[in-house]
Structure 1
Amino acid sequence: MIDRITQTAQTDAVVIAKKKTTAHNDVLTHKQRKSTSPALLGIPAEIIKMIAEFLPGKNAACFTLCSRSMKEVLGDRYLKAMKIPYKQFNFCPRVEITFVELLVRDLPQHFACFECDHIHRARTIKWPNNTKDHLGCETCTRRRHNVYSLKLSSPFEIHFAQIYLAAKQHRTGIDLGFPLEAFQHQEVTHSRFTNVTSVLSADARFVSNELVLRSQTWDFVPRSPQDRDAEILAYGGITRRVCKHSKRDSNGFFTRAQCHYCRMHFATSQKHHGEAGTVFIITRWINLGAGLDPKDCKWQSHISRKGLFHTQPVVSIKKAFEDQEGLSLEEFTSGNEKLLSEWRNQPSN
């Protein structure tokens, strides 16, 4: 009888010990689940280890650091790559984005963000005319030097991620929520300081798999009661806003109707409205590149004051754009003229 009690007590002790171990494992599993992507839940540790073995050393190190649970499964085996001298390993964002790009290959509705090195859903990225408060990636929004703007203080701003998604949708045919309509825009503004009313509009087309933007600015300058000097000064100030390099490239800039430092062609014209004033019109055709890499020279030439080109392409950007199917230049211009006229004829204006 005593032997049976002792045996039962030992058995109970084993059962209790097993329950404690199970409870402990449940806690670890819960922590792991909190720090692990839902896509990785349920994958056996053996499979994760096999995946890591197929990766290059740098990528395996990044894979290990994805989450706490990944670190627990893979240990320190692949982190030795981080101990290689900095110049050889170069463990910097370039390594991280390369790894993230590798992961995103099988996720057609996602993309590897070039600014924060995270994977985003394509549809979280807003269109260019809706990014003033938040692009969809806070890091991209904060880095103002990587933004292309047609006009100071305009809500229409283009980030590289938007070009990338539009180009990817164009090349692959996969609907990522970024058609060319995303780059269509019209706005009217009035400056009380200069008394100038402005219309800005834009549309886009793909030319040889590169995104080309067509933009037109109408600036209505009221007739000055003094003399034509005010009109001349206004015209000079307006034309300097053609691109970041127009003031620097002033020698023959308007004769050539193209910039020496960025991929852009333009045209200027005037329309006189008698005693009311004059409208100065600037039309631009801007090649933003193929959207494959944020370091692409065509994209960088527009966002950098330095500029990267000293020669222009043989084929006119304007001609290449206008030869594509879509709204003609005459229709585009007519729509902007109508918008300006309607705004000026409003009683409140």
Structure 2
Amino acid sequence: MNFLNSFLRFFFKLFFGSRHSAPITPYNTESPASSTSDHPDSLLLENPPDGLQSSALSISDNPDSPAPNTSDHPDSPMLENPPNGLQSSALRNLPPEIVLHIASFLLPASAGAFSLCSRSTKLILGGKYLTALGARWNRSAEYYDFLMLLERDLPDCVLCRYCKELHAIRDAKFFGRGYVHRYASDKPRSCPRCITESRRVNSFYCIHSEFSYAIFQMMMKLRRQGRNYSELIKLMSPTSFSSYIRDESFRKQHIGRIRIVDGRLLLRKQEAYLMPPTQSLSLPRLPRCGFTICHHAGWVLPDYPGSFGDAFRRRIARWEDNLVELNQCRRCLVEFRFDSRRLGENGIIMMLTTWLDLGDGESSALLRYTAGDLGQFSGRPRELDRFQEGFTICKLFEQQEHPDVFSLLTLDEWKELFKYSPGLWPGDDYFVTS
């Protein structure tokens, strides 16, 4: 808005500088530009309406400024009596022809947002810019840029990268996992594209079972505004579950935690495999485990020929050693390690722990994670340089460099893992719980 004020003052001085000896101020009521009696055909009103009060699509002065104090209004992020958006702007002093001339220099997305900043500009510019954007929204990047400008000033909406629509935060529950199957069975055509895309890249499985791209954006936006996002945390928190692989006598358990650190959403996933004490921990018997790390590792880890398979083979070869080796994907912000422990006569536990950095909801970190080997991203991303400097995702999440991954499980989670083998339970005192 400061740039717009300077731009408008330049045009004002360029066209009317020779007629005015006094400096031009937005409150100069003697200025001919603000008088409507000398311009009977002018569309400007004597008392321009409050742009912020008349429209929720007003453009804020500073999109990066902190959110207003809403402690007295917990249900509304906007002020009860917002200030007049035109009182301090040179825009109120310009005649319609100058406003039209300014709009002709703007990009289509900026011109569409400019026409919505107040009733005065909407009356002058009409709806031609909005109509032009809406006519080709399905294939035009200009429409997406226009929505980006609007989303900055709409505290209760987020712009979905996949749907290319504004999603209301109050509708967050409709983008959760509970509605995915309903969309798929009852209304497949009405399923939001972000849910369809999540199903295509298997984010419900590779990231975690409750992950939703739309809810992720909503939660991070509320955090940036300093608002309460506890309900969205509940929708996004992973659900722990266990299963039994009968053919291989494996007990498998998935455990997840999410945490926001330095404005970024971090995720820790743990896949624990409990095997009978008489079973050998050999490489040929483990493909059925189906370790999942990211799209670049494949679905079955031992069959992957790259660094993931090598790391797995090194760990299997020395599985009885207390070896800690943190590995990292070369294409996305994922770190992982394998750990194993023999519980005496109670079995063998193999643990895969993965740490993910899903970003701040605005960067391409999540897109990089879900890109797979499709060629969208290649090489080593610049963000991973911090791995060389010791600032690992694991260290950010755990607040320690080499955590004991087995102590991260609670006593209830250990009992869930032994649910299908109660005879192997070593007792509550055996485990060090966090």
Q: Deviations over 1:225-248 (max 9, x none)?
A: xx737x432335547533333323
- AA aligned to 1:253 is A
For 1:116, what is the secondary structure of its paired residue?
coil
Query: Is residue 188 of structure 1 aligned with residue 242 of structure 2?
Result: yes
Residue of 87, 109, 112 corresponding to 2:156:
109
- Does the 8 Å CA contact 2:244/2:420 hold for their aligned counterparts? no
C-alpha distance in structure 2 between counterparts of 1:92 and 1:160, whole Å: 22
Task: Indicate which of 91, 108, 114 corresponds to 1:58.
Answer: 108
Q: Highest relative contact order (Cα 8 Å, sep 6+), 1 or 2? A: 1
Paired position in structure 1 for 2:165:
118
Q: Deviations over 1:296-339 (max 9, x none)?
A: 0x212321222645355221211111119xx9966532343232
Distance 1:330 1:222 in 2: 18
SS in 2 for 1:242: coil
Partner of 1:320: 396
**TM-score (structure 1 length as normaliser):** 0.63
Structure 1: distance between partners of 2:295 and 2:178: 23
Match of 2:366 in 1: 299
> 1:148 corresponds to which residue?
203
Tell me which residue corresponds to 1:259: 329
1:183–1:203 CA contact under 8 A, matched in 2: yes
Matched residue SS, 1:269: strand
Instruction: Indicate yes or no: 2:411 matched with 1:339.
Output: no
Separation in 2, partners of 1:193, 1:94: 51
Q: CA 1:331–1:96 in 2, change beyond 3 Å: closer, same or farther?
A: farther
String of CA shifts for 1:197-254, please: whole Å, max 9, x gaps: 2211111112221111011111223467xx737x432335547533333323347535
Q: Which residue of 1 aligns with 2:280?
A: 228
Deviation for aligned residue 1:112: 1.9
What is the letter of the counterpart of residue 320 of structure 1?
A: L
Greater helix proportion: 1
The one of 164, 180, 200 aligned to 2:217: 164
Structure with bigger strand share is 1
Asked if structure 2 preserves the Cα contact closer than 8 Å seen for 1:166 and 1:180, the reply is no
Partner secondary structure for residue 354 of structure 2: strand
Cα root mean square deviation, aligned: 4.3
Deviations 1:88-120 (A, max 9, x none): x99835322222232233332222222222222
- Provide the identity percentage: 20
Unaligned runs of 5+ in 2: 1-54, 58-95, 116-121, 184-189, 298-303, 313-324, 424-434
Rate the CA distance shift 1:139–1:106 in 2: closer, same or farther, 3 A: same
Partner of 2:338: 268
Give TM-score, length-normalised by structure 2.
Answer: 0.52
Deviation, 1:181, is 7.1
